Structure 1
Amino acid sequence: MTNATNVRIGVMYDRDWAPEGLPGFARRAEALGVDDLWVVEDLGWNGGVSAAAVALGATERLTVGIGIAPAPLRSPALLAMELATLARVFPGRLVAGIGHGVREWMEAAGVAPRSPLALLEETITSVRALLRGERVALDGREVRLDGVRLVHPPEQAPPVVAGVVRPRSLELSGRVADGTLIAEGHGPGDLENARALTVKGGAGPGHSLTVLSFACVGDDPDEVARLLHPHTEGHGAWLGRPQDEVFTVSGTPARAADAVRALHDAGAGTVVLRVVGPGPLDQLAALLTRIRG
């Protein structure tokens, strides 16, 4: 049996699933023994903070991650206020992901920044400082705050992680964030490169690496490939790599568990599964059984 018991296992509540199904899904995932549940904030789908609040309120121990809040759509002050509220009500159970946002979506919303790198750095730096209870005065390239301070900062500030892909953004994450969230499709070799770039940016040993991965668990390889195809095809185009090079956690429970172990060995502290196909929680249960015995 593959031994990957040290890795945290999370599951994504896919953006295409109806919001009203989130509370029940979160409770069932928690009952299976999942460590994390991640919600999505993509333009036109769901609000990440509100979805995180729903998932946290429906469960008792799950860590809930926001993956990711696009910096251009979010005022750092308001985002810190929202995160602080959740962190006070549900201490130790929140991870806040912040990223650039998809450029075309940010343009459609009329919020595309002049400098995405500056905006992300200034947003993450400001949000983390506000969550620590500091008074923030910043006259940056993209963010301006004049002595803002939270009245009710959390006793325990939640980790703020950067959801980024490109080399300069990975270095930025290592410099200013508590961890890095890696998008679907990246395999063990990609993680090693990402870790090296975050370290180049200044990341220490406590900088976490959380990896999203498409997952499909089943004994029929043709059916697994069919179910994964539209996801890996589209994601391969986005990543600029051939479809067959888009990494997935897939196949029989044993093969899927081996893929989780490979990600863990490459530096992933948490593997978050974006399960495709019917019965996502049944698939997850089969994989957890193989991993944890």
Structure 2
Amino acid sequence: MTTVRIGVMYDRDWAPEGLPAFARDAEALGVDDLWVVEDLGWNGGVSAAAVALASTERLRVGIGITPAPLRSPALLAMELATLARMFPGRLVAGVGHGVAEWMASVGVAPKSPLALLEETIRSVRALLHGERVELAGREVRLDGIRLVHPPLVPPPVVAGVVRPRSLELSGRVADGTLIAEGHGPRDLERVRELTAKGGAGADHDLTVLAFCSVGEDPEQVARTLRPSVEGQAGWLGRPPEQVFTVSGRAEDAAGRVDELAAAGAGTVVLRVVGDDPLKQIGKVLEALAASGRTPATASPATARGEG
């Protein structure tokens, strides 16, 4: 039996005011995680995480991702610590490079993105663990900074990265790696190799985002996914047919989740495309339960297959 955390993304295109009800409904459905997005011009990730956490009781909330160039490490650590103090054990903090063009458009493009990300993650993790940080780095300077109220349960800080040198960096400094939509099991093998090269051990958690569409008509599912798949294919630099998705009939989608789990994913976060996203998630959870491939914390109804 494969156990994997199942999450759902609150898509950046969805109105922010819908987040509280969506988070409550997702929690009631039995998902383990809700991931919020920070993209330039769309939403603030820390504020969205605060809303989702305050709206729910059990759900773990992930931020995917805060761009390091936009955030002072000290301020980011303060914000994360506040959430982690109020909602212990329920926060995952994703940090990444950010889209280079977007960072340039607001005047924060770093001279060395790799140095900035490494120094940011090292600093934020140290501050969240109650350490006093002195750093005169290539991109970050902190002169004896310490949090007055560090979290009792420091949240994991994961790197949302794609390229080989960044994946090595993640293995060196982060608690886990957040992997973008479109990456499949064979990609995860390479991710494991690169994070291990950076020094990551077996406890380095992989969280995989995946486009998801569930339906009985495969042609309709393909049409629904096509714009997302083609756009991601261009960003990843691979043909659309090589963009991995969790899609098809519910049992097929559950099988795709299992493929990711077998390749090392600890969490699979579904970015649902199409109508009634929670209904689609519910069908995947039911199929996982029916086949013995269970999410980490299924609701009683889902575990019985009642949905």
Q: Take 2:195 and 2:269, find their aligned partners in 1: how far apart are those partners? A: 20
Paired position in structure 2 for 1:123: 120
- After superposition, give the CA deviation of every residue in 1:65-104 in whole Å (9 maximum; x if it has no partner): 0000000000000000000000000000000000000000
Pick the aligned partner of 2:225 from 222, 228, 245: 228
Structure 1 position 141 matched with structure 2 position 138:
yes
Out of 23, 29, 37, which is 1:32 matched to?
29
Say which of 216, 219, 222 aligns to 1:219: 216
Q: List alignment gaps of at least 5 residues for structure 2.
A: 291-307
In the comparison of the two structures, how many residue pairs are matched?
A: 290
Task: Tell me if 1:92 matches 2:92.
Answer: no
Per-residue CA deviation, residues 149-177 of structure 1 (Å, 9 max, x unaligned), is 10000011000000000000000000000
Residue 73 (1) aligns with residue 49 (2): no
Question: How high is the TM-score relative to the length of structure 2?
Answer: 0.94
- SS for the counterpart of 2:216 is coil
Q: 1:60 is paired with a residue of what secondary structure?
A: coil
CA offsets 1:173-213 (integer angstroms, 9 cap, x no match): 00000000000000000001001100010001111000000
Partner of 1:166: 163
Match of 2:255 among 249, 253, 258: 258
Question: Post-superposition shift, 1:222?
Answer: 1.0
Runs of 4+ in 1 over 2 A off after TM superposition: none
Deviation at 1:37, TM superposition (A): 0.3
Cα distance between partner residues in 2 of 1:68 and 1:185 = 17
Q: CA RMSD of the aligned region, Å?
A: 0.6
CA distance in structure 1 between the aligned counterparts of 2:281 and 2:219, rounded to whole angstroms: 19
Percent identity over paired residues: 76
| Equivalent in 277, 282, 295 of residue 280 of structure 1 | 277
Distance across 2 between alignment mates of 1:167 and 1:88 = 34
The answer to whether residue 241 in structure 2 is matched with residue 239 in structure 1 is no
CA distance in 2, matches of 1:278, 1:226: 13
Q: How does 1:134-213 map to 2 (within 5 A)?
A: 134-213=131-210
Secondary structure of the residue aligned to 1:231 is helix
Q: Which amino acid aligns with 1:261?
A: D
How far is the alpha carbon of 1:279 from its aligned partner? 0.6
| Unaligned 5+ runs, structure 1 | none
